[in-house]
Amino acid sequence: MDEQVQEQILRRDLAAAYRLAAMFGWEDTLYTHFSVRLPSEGEARFLINPFGLMFDEITASNLIVVDAKGHIVSGDAKYNPAGFTIHSAVHSARDDAHCVIHTHTLAGMAVAACESGLLNVNQISAEFHEQVGYHDYEGVAFNLEERARIQASLGDNMALILKNHGLLSVGETVADAFQIMFYLNKACEIQVAAGQAAGLSRIQIIPDKLANYVSGQFKKVAHERQIVWDAWLRKLDRIDPSYKD
């Protein structure tokens, strides 16, 4: 498959991720961002949303291409500088992090504000046991020097909780990163709901040994993320296929 065809597929998938995120209520007006790295030799280039558009306005054709130095390679719009800092950090450090998704959901920000971080309160939470990094808050991510610290905080994990900020997931495909974020956010929603219902001190926590076992079970079915993604695309096609434009 040549690079042009691959780019068109990646554009479609990333635009679909934005539309699905809008459907799920993950938007924070204009201030979160998803990206996907393009196939190319040498320096990383990635697709990201043009700053100023709501998630339900994103299409395959209006995504812009940015390189690791922050130059706009393709597209006629600007990008969010903080988004560039975060996404360029991950794409530059992780060869397997083809897609990066960052959100400011209510539940995600609530858990990011808790000293305890993500707790093993549910089967879904256990999927992320010892697979989530934590990054200390440094203010809005305008400082490019923060990239090295983001890289260190993420390590080889599949997700990152940006303390006092939000959530981030990575994946080899858009399907991977999106489903990881979907369930990371759901784990946060469960924790917030459990805390409201019982108080954090009374939540039943899954022991580490069992959580390790459950996390391994989820790894064995990671291939199913593509099946779920295909189902989401069919749903999106039924509702509004204009993301492909």
Decide: 37 and 46 in contact? Cβ < 8 Å: yes
pLDDT tens-digit map of 80-131: 999 999 999 999 999 999 999 999 999 999 999 999 999 999 999 999 999 9
pLDDT band, residue 197 (cuts 50/70/90): confident
4-18: burial string, b at 16+ Cβ within 10 Å, e else? eeebeebbbbbbbbb
Instruction: Tell whether 27 is covered by a domain.
Output: yes
Residue 244 lies in a domain: no
* Antiparallel, parallel or unpaired: β 64-67 and 45-48: antiparallel
Phi, psi for 64 (deg, rounded to 5): -110, 160
- Nearest-CA neighbor of 79 among 34, 13, 146, 42? 34
Chain centre distance of CA 33: 8
pLDDT at 174 over 90: yes
The C-alpha atoms of residue 23 and residue 182 are separated, in whole angstroms, by 12
- CATH of residue 143's domain is 3.40.225.10
Tokens matching residue 218: 């989820």
Q: Is residue 151 part of a domain?
A: yes
Query: Residue 138: how many CB atoms within 10 A of its CB?
Result: 16
Residues near 14 by beta carbon (within 8 Å), at least 6 away in sequence: 34, 35, 36, 47, 58, 60, 63, 99, 174
pLDDT tens track for 16-74:
999 999 999 999 999 999 999 998 767 789 999 999 999 999 999 999 999 989 999 98
Tell me what the mean pLDDT of segment 198-214 comes to.
83
State how far the Cα of 203 lies from the Cα of 219, in Å rounded to an integer.
Answer: 26
The answer to whether residue 245 sits within a structural domain is no
Which range among 4-13, 109-118, 192-201, 219-228 shows the weakest confidence by mean pLDDT?
Answer: 192-201
Cα gap 194→230, rounded to integer Å = 31
Whether 85 maps to a domain, the answer reads yes
Q: How confident is the model at residue 205 (pLDDT cuts 50, 70, 90)?
A: confident
Residue 28 in domain: yes
> pLDDT tens digits for 132-172?
999 999 999 999 999 999 999 999 999 999 999 999 999 99
Q: Tell me: pLDDT of 200 over 80.
A: no
Q: In this structure, what are the phi and psi dihedrals at residue 84, rounded to the nearest 5 degrees?
A: -60, -45
Q: CB-based contacts of 93: which residues, under 8 Å, 6+ apart?
A: 151, 154
Instruction: List, in order, residues 6 or more apart from 107 with CB less than 8 Å away.
Output: 185, 188, 189, 191, 192
Amino acid identity at 209: K
- The 3-state secondary structure of 26-74 reads CCCCCCCEEEEECCCCCCCEEEECCCCCCHHHCCCCCCEEEECCCCEEE
Structural domain containing residue 51: 3-239
Count of the separate structural domains present in the chain: 1
